[in-house]
Amino acid sequence: MKKESINTTKKSKQKIIKYKNEDTNEIKKLLLILLGIIAIVFLLFFITSKYLLKDGFQKEQPSTKSVEIDYTSVDVGTMFNRPYEEYLVFAFNANDDDNAYYHALISTYTGKVKLYSLDLSILKNKEYVKEEANKEAKNISELAFGKLNLIHIKNGKIVEYLTDIKDIEKKLK
């Protein structure tokens, strides 16, 4: 009988050890799966940060540039609704060879009437540039600019339209 009891105790110990091995194997598998998932997540994080930021992790915040608003220029869409009752609009092509001279005229202007500049080389203003200016225009749809234009606007209506450089110089001096 002693042999039987020894055999049964060995079998029961073996079963206990076997259960422990199965449980530990399951826990090991679970830990390996979790570590694999964590490794994949970190790998994906580093790869996407490299592509999204192009140079890895950003160490500094990008510098912000200040924005300046030019209150002396207009475009065709805002030309007739300025906050002044009376003003001048000097329309010229900023890519013209005489651009520096036109800017000098604007900067030396000291008249009482507000002066705005309108750049005809900007895409949204280009559609209004024609061979000959329409001096009789009453609204934006009828508006046509020549190479050089000085428009005197009073109460939202054109009262004077100059296209000759000598006349423009006289008006601005």
pTM, entire model: 0.59
**Residue 70: pLDDT band by 50, 70, 90 thresholds?**
confident
Q: How far is CA 130 from CA 95, 134, 156, 164, in A?
A: 16, 9, 22, 16
pLDDT of residue 99: 86
Q: How far is CA 103 from CA 38, 90, 117, in A?
A: 63, 10, 9
pLDDT top residue among 21 and 149:
149
pLDDT of residue 90: 92
pLDDT of residue 154: 92
98, burial (CB in 10 Å: exposed 0-12, middle 13-18, buried 19+): middle
Q: What average pLDDT does this structure show over 94-101?
A: 88
pLDDT of residue 33: 95
Task: Please tell me the distance from the alpha carbon of residue 94 to that of residue 92, in angstroms, as a whole number.
Answer: 6
Share of the chain above pLDDT 90, in %: 24
| Spatial CA neighbour of 73 closest among 63, 87, 85 | 87
pLDDT of residue 173: 81
Count of other CB atoms within 10 angstroms of residue 153: 23
Q: What average pLDDT does this structure show over 74-84?
A: 88
| Spatial CA neighbour of 87 closest among 163, 13, 157 | 157
Task: Please tell me the distance from the alpha carbon of residue 14 to that of residue 173, in angstroms, as a whole number.
Answer: 111
Assess contact for 73 and 118: CB atoms under 8 A: yes
**Residue 37: pLDDT band by 50, 70, 90 thresholds?**
very high
Q: Which residues 6+ apart lie within 8 Å of 128 measured at CB?
A: 76, 120, 143, 144, 145
